[in-house]
Amino acid sequence: MSDARLRIEEAGPLTSIQDAGRPGWRRFGVPPSGPVDRRAFAAAVGASGGYGSAIEFSLGGLTLVAEERAVSVAITGAASATVNGVEVGGWCVVTLQPGARCRIRESGGNWGYCAPAGRLECSEWLGSSATHLIAGLGGGRIGEGDRLTVREAHRDVASVDIPLPADGEPFTVARAVLGPQQRYFTPEVLCRLTSEPFAASARFDRMGMVLDGPPLPPERIDMPSEPAMRGALQIDGDGRMSLLTADHQTTGGYPRIAVVIDPDIDRLAQLPAGSAIRFQLVEPEEAIALTRAAAADIAAWLDRVKTAARRRPSLLTANLADGLVVTRRFSSGAPPWPPSAR
């Protein structure tokens, strides 16, 4: 293994380096940060070897060029890619040879991930490379002309399709727990939250997303600052609702009418502008049970993602015929390596 370098030719304004986040600092005013879509991030990291960091991108996409040495990358989330003009799609692992240009564009959502098969060299803050984008702390924002070094880079990760999450049906209902500041709203407004439709908007960043829909005006906004959390549905003085996401503030003086349960937060943040969404209230006990069940399903799915990731065999263990690589069965009974489609 040796180091590889990726040169950034183009990057949208929300492109940054992320790891899984820095929990445990909210009491000091520091949000966890980390990926907006935690499932897609974890899949990219798992499929590329589990090195812990990835590039997160959104509007404007990402174009990178492999320099000096080849390196494999995993692409997940709302993304579709081409390599040297050849379409490879999304949710896949590809190997970039030296000089190869990979163009990734957001597709079907808002947030995508590109995880190299190696350790991204970047700065850390409070023990994490998760970037708090507004503050610029952590691994950092990525822009045109930057060069990223991938330590101990692998170029032999087999090109595969990454298994998709099981819940592939359209996401139209987000479950939420009422409160904690429901006392600031009239019964009529509380009813409007679940009886009328809302829609994702194009106004989003790593702090949150504005949701279009009927106004939900609070009776007053003179509340003292109280803790805020990921998934909270915050209402401003004009009755506009916003979903808080990865870089959310840790306290705030606007009331939170409800909190989306954890399995639905990132799916809501991924909805393209104009997508309709309704809210369904659940009791806290049900929210806990749903979250635990979803966590178990995600863990099992990520195990399948990691199992699908594998190294390509050396040519010393392969027969070459007409440009195809057909791997021999080993005496140990190891499964054969299928020819790659990429």
The reported pLDDT for the residue numbered 311 is 63
In angstroms, rounded to a whole number, what is the distance separating the alpha carbons of residues 104 and 56? 11
CA gyration radius, the chain: 22
pLDDT digits (tens, 9 = 90+) for 29-74: 999 999 999 999 999 999 999 899 999 999 999 999 999 899 999 9
Place of tokens 């004009």: 238
DSSP 307: H
Quick one: which of 149, 170, 175, 156 has its CA closest to 264? 175
Place of tokens 């090109």: 159
Place of tokens 């021999």: 328
The reported pLDDT for the residue numbered 146 is 96
In angstroms, rounded to a whole number, what is the distance separating the alpha carbons of residues 157 and 143? 27
The reported pLDDT for the residue numbered 220 is 86
By DSSP bridging, strand 54-57 and strand 112-116 are antiparallel
The reported pLDDT for the residue numbered 135 is 92
Query: Is 20:34 a contact under the CB 8 Å cutoff?
Result: yes
Instruction: Tell me the C-alpha to C-alpha distance, in Å, between residue 136 and each of 16, 124, 187.
Output: 9, 11, 41
Query: Is 19:53 a contact under the CB 8 Å cutoff?
Result: yes
The reported pLDDT for the residue numbered 158 is 72
H, E, C per residue of 246-277: CCCCCEECCCEEEEECHHHHHHHHCCCCCCEE
Instruction: Tell me the C-alpha to C-alpha distance, in Å, between residue 168 and each of 4, 89, 267.
Output: 35, 17, 11
Query: Is 81:89 a contact under the CB 8 Å cutoff?
Result: yes
Ranges under pLDDT 70 in the chain: 1, 310-342
By DSSP bridging, strand 276-281 and strand 173-178 are parallel
Query: Is 118:70 a contact under the CB 8 Å cutoff?
Result: no
In angstroms, rounded to a whole number, what is the distance separating the alpha carbons of residues 324 and 326? 6
In angstroms, rounded to a whole number, what is the distance separating the alpha carbons of residues 327 and 144? 41
The reported pLDDT for the residue numbered 331 is 34
The reported pLDDT for the residue numbered 320 is 39
Phi then psi for 170, rounded to 5 degrees? -55, 140
